Structure 1
Amino acid sequence: MPSSGVSEDSYSVLSCFLEHGSQVVHRSMGILPLKKVTIINHFRLLKLKEMFNSKFGSTPKFYVRAPGRVNIIGEHIDYCGYSVLPMAVEQDMLIAVGPVKTQTLQLANTDPLYPDFSTTANNICIDKTQPLWHNYFLCGFKGIQEHFGLTQLPGMNCLVDGNIPPSSGLSSSSALVCCAGLVTLTVLGMRLSKVELAEICAKSERYIGTEGGGMDQSISFLAEEGTAKLIEFSPLRATDVKLPSGAVFVIANSCVEMNKAATSHFNVRVMECRLAAKVLAKHKGLQWDKVLRLEEVQSELGISLEEMLLVTEDALHAEPYSREEICKCLGISLEELRTQILSPNTQGELTFKLYQRAKHVYSEAARVLQFKQVCEAAPDNAVQLLGELMNQSHRSCRDMYECSCPELDQLVDICRKFGAKGSRLTGAGWGGCTVSLVPADTLSSFLASVHEAYYQGNMSRLAREKHSLFATKPGGGALVFLEA
């Protein structure tokens, strides 16, 4: 964002002529300098404009872009209150928008797999039982509507173009939620800070039924080109983390799709962490009924993450807890457990693994801080140290959190075999992508070897490899722009 005359912490409608990209025009502040815009491919934009005109019979008034992300380390701990370390990727969601005078919201997608959708802008209903693509847009739309307490919203035509592989763990769904939130804010002509937008979109994505923690939305708005971010919560803030120059991060898609809103896997883990927090709090004599997150237990006790691991060893057992045992521990009824603690799609679960989930969360939270410290200290063996932390993370995700799958484990092993210093699943897991730390001078041979070992010979994987195996660098965050 421009630094002269416009706050870097807030969004307004920007105007970029992408072919030349030399100026930004703010609606009320005149012309401001901006580096050449290279985030959006010009031909992609022209194609989107032409498709919009063909679909709606008009020209888009503005465009919104929100990136996907890769989480370098810190898996399944944001919803427990702990810091994570992601970076935005160059792949993104791009939406062409044309406000209309009617109160009709019309959504279309450049991918024919995703059918058109139309609804009134003032009666948004989101079906949690079917995580269809348009429901993610509705989440962002409804989030802005409810934040401002609006009952009458203008309609709009929107054409969505995404190049983030779906259900790959690169946060395509959250990017769409963020894009929709920024679209709605822009149509309304209102302003919010990046932090406010991130928090609204994190909250509103839960309309789809997923009890996420806010990492994906935060990095989508707060990302800056060239740097990863340590994202902290309560309050939300982002700190630059300079990654080692002698290595690159490579994303490899297992080609196993996992839509976290379509199953209960994700929410079961959230509830297991919530229950672990409550049982740990009760064990330590805290006011357990007010506790929701594992970080709150540590904060209340005022001890280190390493000490929390010892508390976990002392207070929890490795065997799964039945619902009845949890109720006995907390002194509540089965009905109170079901209706006051568990989410709707986890109320039928019979057992919960509290020890394993808490062990993962506390150890993973410590790895995030260690990763940042190594990046800051930049010792000669930084790449080796960071790689080992990533390897530890994957083992914990696989064994303690049980969110891996055979294909992800195979892909991680292949990446390490051919030179990755560290490799781990990224995103929710149960499919999706790995992220690997690879010495820059071995990148070409690494990509060729992984291609041959994992993709070649498997026609399904090979057909998708163009968007499945690539090196990436930290990209920029969400933005709005007009065509001059």
Structure 2
Amino acid sequence: MGFKEVFGLLPEASAQAPGRVNLLGEHTDYQEGYVLPTPVPYFTQVEAAPAQGQVEAYSENLGELRARPLQSPPQGDFLDYLLGVVWALRASGHEVPGARFYVRSRLPMGAGLSSSAALEVAALKALRALYRLPLSDQEVALLAQKAEVEYVGVRCGLMDQMVASLGEVGKALFLDTRTLAHENLPLPPRTRVAVLDLGLKRRLAEAGYNERRREAEEAARRLGVRALRDVADLCLVESLPSPLDRRARHVVSENLRVLKGVEALRRGDARAFGELMTQSHRSLSRDYEVSLPELDALVEAALAAGAYGAKLTGAGFGGAVVALVPEEGYAAFKEALEARFPQLQLL
């Protein structure tokens, strides 16, 4: 099955975007903080052709063809993301009359690898080529976030869309989500980033993400700052009531970990960087309370199998674990984890 078989014509534009794992900087982007994700070499590809008054899309992975008029509200399916990017373009003044899309992806959905941002960015880049839109890669990322927040209804930060649009495989994207200043930094030499997926599915809009975001916003309000990024002294968060003190402690300490992680990357220090990843997971588990017992066990197993560091990646409440593993020890690492977790998928 291909574009012509589904739509009876050839595509006129094509683009792809990668998924990502977040090495450091979890739940900091919506508090204007620092993040440090890296793209994974698994891509979502979107082919496109013009259409009038509607968005029509076929998902090769799902085997589904769906179509809705441009003015349709979201309905909780994959078409929401494609309607959302067309809506975002039109809301920003770009004349996009509609589109047909053919989508194929190697990214596992629901694993915390940001398959939604990859789909949004790939679709926007295909539309950019199709309709010759004057958009930079950074503007693509901003429109993708607008689509997900304002149309789909998931109050995500900007990290996922930025790394899908601007990241480079084999490097970490250091991003200041307040200023949008960014830099791609090489990962430590002789290491491998391993993604460990137990198939723990979750949906952001239904799984507590928005609640954590509200808690972080309330903590910032009570501390009298625009965002928790502006809190430099961890002692200040102890004045907050529970659970706001724990939520703020995670965000503030996570920003500090990102800055230390950047220093470790500049030195090529894999051990120091890995230790920061592990500290991040324990903070996500204990203070932000977005982990699961299965994810905690997988992190500890990865460390016992020789990883420099490991943590959940993505919003939590399911998803995957990312580990930084010495290249020479990867075969033994893989064997040990697959023996303990037969259902594990390593990416």
1:311 to 230, 236, 239: 236
**5 Å matches for 1:238-277?**
238-261=182-205, 263-277=206-220
> Whole-Å Cα distance in 2 between the matches of residues 193 and 227 of structure 1?
21
Paired position in structure 1 for 2:24: 73
> Whole-Å Cα distance in 1 between the matches of residues 99 and 311 of structure 2?
41
Deviations 1:440-460 (A, max 9, x none): 101111111111111x2xxxx
- How far residue 94 of structure 1 moved from its aligned partner, in angstroms, is 0.6
- How far residue 264 of structure 1 moved from its aligned partner, in angstroms, is 4.8
Paired position in structure 2 for 1:118: 67
Residue type of the alignment partner of 2:235: L
1:410 to 289, 297, 316: 297
> Whole-Å Cα distance in 2 between the matches of residues 243 and 95 of structure 1?
28
Runs of 4+ off more than 4 Å: none
> Whole-Å Cα distance in 2 between the matches of residues 68 and 367 of structure 1?
23
Deviations 1:345-381 (A, max 9, x none): xxxxxxxx21110000000100000011111133xxx
Deviations 1:185-231 (A, max 9, x none): 33322111111111121122102121111000001111124321101
Paired position in structure 2 for 1:393: 280
1:59 to 2, 5, 10: 10
> Whole-Å Cα distance in 1 between the matches of residues 184 and 295 of structure 2?
29
Asked if the contact 1:222–1:238 (Cα under 8 Å) also holds between the matched residues in 2, the reply is no
Deviations 1:305-342 (A, max 9, x none): 3x2x11112x213x3xxxxxxxxxxxxxxxxxxxxxxx
Paired position in structure 2 for 1:334: none
1:94 to 42, 45, 62: 45
Paired position in structure 2 for 1:332: none
Asked if the contact 2:13–2:127 (Cα under 8 Å) also holds between the matched residues in 1, the reply is no
Residue type of the alignment partner of 2:27: H
- How far residue 182 of structure 1 moved from its aligned partner, in angstroms, is 2.2
Asked if the contact 2:85–2:123 (Cα under 8 Å) also holds between the matched residues in 1, the reply is yes
> Whole-Å Cα distance in 1 between the matches of residues 94 and 12 of structure 2?
25
Paired position in structure 2 for 1:343: none
> Whole-Å Cα distance in 1 between the matches of residues 184 and 126 of structure 2?
27
Asked if the contact 2:48–2:127 (Cα under 8 Å) also holds between the matched residues in 1, the reply is no
Asked if the contact 2:81–2:147 (Cα under 8 Å) also holds between the matched residues in 1, the reply is no
- How far residue 149 of structure 1 moved from its aligned partner, in angstroms, is 5.6
Paired position in structure 1 for 2:340: 453
> Whole-Å Cα distance in 2 between the matches of residues 69 and 364 of structure 1?
18
> Whole-Å Cα distance in 2 between the matches of residues 225 and 392 of structure 1?
24
> Whole-Å Cα distance in 2 between the matches of residues 154 and 144 of structure 1?
10
Residue type of the alignment partner of 1:410: A
What is the RMSD of the two structures over their aligned residues, measured on CA atoms?
Answer: 1.6
For the residue of structure 1 that corresponds to 2:184, the secondary structure is strand
> Whole-Å Cα distance in 1 between the matches of residues 295 and 186 of structure 2?
27
Give the share of equivalent positions with the same residue, in percent: 32
- How far residue 271 of structure 1 moved from its aligned partner, in angstroms, is 0.2
Instruction: Give the number of equivalent residue pairs.
Output: 346
CA pair 103-316 structure 1, distance change in 2 beyond 3 A: closer
- How far residue 145 of structure 1 moved from its aligned partner, in angstroms, is 1.2
> Whole-Å Cα distance in 2 between the matches of residues 225 and 417 of structure 1?
27
**5 Å matches for 1:57-206?**
57-100=8-51, 102-112=52-62, 115-121=64-70, 123=71, 125-127=72-74, 130-148=75-93, 150=95, 153-206=96-149
Asked if the contact 1:67–1:88 (Cα under 8 Å) also holds between the matched residues in 2, the reply is yes
> Whole-Å Cα distance in 2 between the matches of residues 259 and 126 of structure 1?
19
- How far residue 392 of structure 1 moved from its aligned partner, in angstroms, is 0.5
> Whole-Å Cα distance in 2 between the matches of residues 85 and 112 of structure 1?
31
Asked if the contact 1:59–1:98 (Cα under 8 Å) also holds between the matched residues in 2, the reply is yes
Higher strand share: 2
Unaligned stretches of 5+ residues in structure 2: none
Paired position in structure 2 for 1:476: none
Residue type of the alignment partner of 1:244: P
Whose radius of gyration is greater, 1 or 2? 1
Paired position in structure 2 for 1:218: 162
Unaligned stretches of 5+ residues in structure 1: 1-49, 282-287, 299-304, 320-352, 471-484
**5 Å matches for 1:377-388?**
377-378=267-268, 382-388=269-275
**5 Å matches for 1:10-49?**
none
CA pair 240-155 structure 1, distance change in 2 beyond 3 A: closer
Paired position in structure 2 for 1:443: 330
Paired position in structure 2 for 1:434: 321
Paired position in structure 2 for 1:371: 261
